[in-house]
């Protein structure tokens, strides 16, 4: 993997971590305490300045109460991973709301293909 792609991936993973942490909700300080890290280390991870190792990513996911795949799916460039992430977001909605969202997505895709 080239350096630019690696940097972009670190930024995406960091954003996924930050978004999940805020959704919990949890402060950087609380996450740092749970992981035995300082706020600066959490901040650098969330900004994408550093890429967490796989064991650290597992710890982060555990601390945030989510599967590791949730932090990685959002970070992926693959359309199949995006589809899985979208399906997870649609799952708690009613069938009628899911159908409405699929219609909106269909319109957007058709418009953007032009």
Q: pLDDT, tens digit, for every residue of 23-53?
A: 999 999 999 999 999 999 999 999 999 999 9
Taking only the tens place, the pLDDT of each residue in 61-98 is 999 999 999 899 877 888 898 888 889 889 999 999 99
Which residue, among 10, 63, 4, has the nearest Cα to 33 in the 3D structure?
63
Rounded Cα distance between 43 and 40, Å, is: 5
Rounded Cα distance between 98 and 70, Å, is: 20
- Domain layout of the chain by residue ranges: 3-73, 79-113
CATH number of 3-73: 1.10.260.40
Task: Identify the DSSP state of 27.
Answer: -
Task: Identify the DSSP state of 52.
Answer: P
């Amino acid at each position: 993997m080239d350096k630019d792609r690696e940097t972009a991936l670190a930024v995406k993973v960091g954003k996924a971590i930050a978004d999940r942490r805020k959704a919990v909700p949890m402060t950087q300080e609380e996450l740092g305490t749970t992981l035995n890290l300082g706020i600066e280390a959490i901040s650098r991870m969330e900004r994408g300045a550093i890429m967490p190792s796989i064991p650290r990513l597992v710890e982060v996911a555990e601390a945030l109460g989510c599967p590791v795949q949730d932090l990685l799916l959002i970070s992926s460039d693959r359309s199949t991973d995006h589809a899985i992430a979208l399906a997870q977001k649609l799952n708690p909605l009613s069938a009628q709301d899911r159908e409405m969202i699929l219609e909106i997505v269909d319109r957007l895709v058709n418009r953007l293909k032009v």
